[in-house]
Amino acid sequence: MATHTTKMLIVGSGPAGMSAAIYGARAGLKPIVVQGLQPGGQLTITTDVENYPGFRDVIQGPWLMEQMQAQAEHVGTRMLWDTVVSIDLSGRGQAGTAFRAIGDGGDVYEGETLVIATGAQAKWLGVAGEVELAGKGVSACATCDGFFFRGKKVAVIGGGNTAVEEALYMTHHSPEVTLIHRRDSLRAERILQDRLFAHPNIKVLWNKRVDHFVGDAQTGLTGLALVDTLSGENSVFPTDGAFVAIGHAPATELFKDKLEMDASGYLIVEPGTPQTSIPGVFACGDVMDPIYRQAVTAAGTGCMAALDAERFIAEREFAAQKELAQAAE
């Protein structure tokens, strides 16, 4: 079991963690990235990416993450394949302390600053056909995949802000969007509901639960097998695409009772900054962003986290030097 020390410890290796690493390494902080269970993050389970700036042609999610990792390593990041199982933030960023993380096999990681980039996962329904047809008509991200359903009929499943936003977004591509919800009222904000109900291309199917996804690897998704939650009646809703939009789960289990988070578990940061409730601990990407959740916004907040970590260290070092100088007088 080894101890690894750094000025900047990054937990998570999606676009947020990688961008923090690139900026941190270039600032001389010699970052360590603990990659986590899914190195590269959510993009490694995506195929076509068309909305990450800088590439005229469609690129593949896993390829994009390989490039980010190679770039981060090239400028001096140490990439370690481990999963953090516990974390100690009790030093609270005070001079002379470090944040401590313990890896799966007992390795210890100590960082003068900590950048949390552990991301979030879309929640799935967990019904038959969902895994088999993911990427073949079933998706959990309209902003990512909506473009591939141009001119096609699609369904969006859910009743919160995400579902309504995804349905509204899909009207840019699809002539007929159907929102399918398990109850008879939406959880989404009033203003979003008003927009949804006013849209001529959106219909709502109330009180319907998805029993399973219909289709196979050859045909792709062809429909949704539905059950009426009031009458129990079965039906099949034919569709070319289905977006599961029932919320996201941020990966913040490690930080429970240690950092402030909202009711859904997202880390709370000072508005417009990546600063969490403990000085020297920064959060970036989907773990602190329930709204935008894009690779490019995650990369942006990763950059902000690194710049603020650098500033935090510089200020702490400056204060320590000042104290020494005063003591010597």
Binding site for ligand NDP (CB under 6 A): 125, 158-163, 165, 182-183, 187, 246-248, 264, 290-291
* CA proximity to 282, closest of 260, 310, 309, 258: 309
- Give the number of other Cβ atoms within 10 Å of residue 277's Cβ: 17
Q: How far is the CB of 49 from ligand NDP (least distance, A)?
A: 21
Which of residues 87 and 164 has its CB atom nearest to ligand NDP in the complex? 164
User: CB 302 → ligand NDP: shortest distance, Å?
Assistant: 21
Cβ closer to ligand NDP: 4 or 195? Answer: 195
Exactly one of 82, 107, 145, 184 is catalytic; which is it? 145
Nearest residue by C-beta to ligand NDP? 160
CB of 226 to ligand NDP, least distance (A): 11
SS3 assignment, position 154: strand
Task: Tokens for 113, please give them.
Answer: 């600053």
Q: What is the CA radius of gyration of the chain?
A: 22
Which candidate in 82, 144, 289, 308 is catalytic?
144
To the nearest 10°, report the CA torsion of 22, 24, 27, 29: -130
Nearest to 46 by CA among 59, 69, 62: 62
User: Known catalytic residue: 303?
Assistant: no
Q: In the bound complex, what is the minimum distance in angstroms from residue 192's beta carbon to ligand NDP?
A: 7
Catalytic entry in 48, 88, 141, 303: 141
Give the 3-state secondary structure of residue 329: coil
- Closer by beta carbon to ligand NDP, 100 or else 248: 248
CB 96 within 8 A of CB 90: no
Direct distance between the N- and C-terminal alpha carbons of the chain, in angstroms, rounded to an integer? 44
Nearer CB in complex with ligand NDP: 40/158? 158
Distance CA 192, CA 247 (A): 16
Smallest separation (angstroms) from ligand NDP to the CB of 61: 21
- Known catalytic residue: 144? yes
Q: How far is CA 134 from CA 25, 55, 131, 169, in A?
A: 36, 25, 5, 20
The smaller minimum CB distance to ligand NDP, of residues 10 and 142, is found at: 142
Residues annotated as catalytic (active site), given as ranges: 141, 144-145
